[in-house]
Amino acid sequence: MSRAPDTWILTADCPSVLGTVDAVTRYLFEQGCYVTEHHSFDDRLSSRFFIRVEFRQPEGFDESSFRAGLAERGESFGMIFELTAPNYRPKVVIMVSKADHCLNDLLYRQRINQLSMDVVAVVSNHPDLEPLARWHDIPYYHFPLDPNDKPAQEARVMKVIEDTGAELVVLARYMQVLSPELCRKLDGKAINIHHSLLPGFKGAKPYHQAYNKGVKLVGATAHYINNDLDEGPIIAQGVEVVDHSHYPEDLIAKGRDIEGLTLARAVGYHIERRVFLNANRTVVL
């Protein structure tokens, strides 16, 4: 479900205590706000409550006083909340290597406004995809990777992120492992996509390995990055059935399609404030 263009988004989480739903919904009612979408989840294992509400503002709505009143109302619950204004478009930096399918898909979805974001830069360790970025009138930064001085390259990447004011970084088939330091800096605001196969084939040509094993499923996983390679909190996954008639090139083509769709879905969830981090897991409302 995509977000309506005229609604505010309120997201909040707090310990699981009596009255959490009432604290949010009653406050919205008292402020004259019309709720258009509401989802909540109480995690009984972590004893934590999560809520996401979209609402239309009444006449004379004042954001500052609304925030102050909600902060006062939620204080006794230990509630942490975030308020996102209508038509808000976060700034995004996309990182790529040579494969263009995920980048092309994201830029197309931005162009048709399916993803309400502003891609402010494309960063790559290769020059190959610069024409695609330039065609969309987006700055392209080529930072070759020196294996003997990886921190210097990552410092240049981080400077682009900071200078553009990007709130989200998308690794759209960026084929380099980020350092623990950069992972820490991007904690909770960088999404990666990779293939998902059972068994988990590692190393070169995973789809060829999968073909040799006769796999019956191919898929993709989009997750927040952390210092554990390809093991960050999962946001979205996709899968498709294959069979003996699928040759390695067919599996690769299927994989590209699933990667593009799964990454776009994860980015959409993030920019619509649907994702909550819950320890090493995610809650997606």
269 residue type, one letter: Y
How far is Cα 88 from Cα 245, in angstroms, rounded to an integer?
46
Neighbours of 155 (CB within 10 A): 13
C-alpha pair distances (Å), 219 with each of 191, 198, 201, 234: 17, 9, 12, 13
- Among 250, 177, 173, smallest CA distance to 208 is for 250
Q: Is 149 assigned a catalytic role? A: no
- Give the pair of three-digit tokens for residue 150: 């990886």
Exposed / middle / buried, residue 238 (Cβ in 10 Å: 0-12, 13-18, 19+): buried
Cis, peptide link before residue 199, omega less than 30° from 0: yes
Calpha distance 28→10 (Å, rounded): 10
Q: Which residues contact 65 (CB under 8 A, 6 or more apart)?
A: none
Q: Which of 230, 243, 250, 257 is catalytic?
A: 230
Contacts of residue 283, Cβ cutoff 8 Å, sequence gap at least 6: 41, 43, 50, 275, 276
Strands 190-196 and 217-224: what pairing? Answer: antiparallel
Say if residues 77 and 14 touch (Cβ distance below 8 Å): yes
Active-site annotation, residues: 230
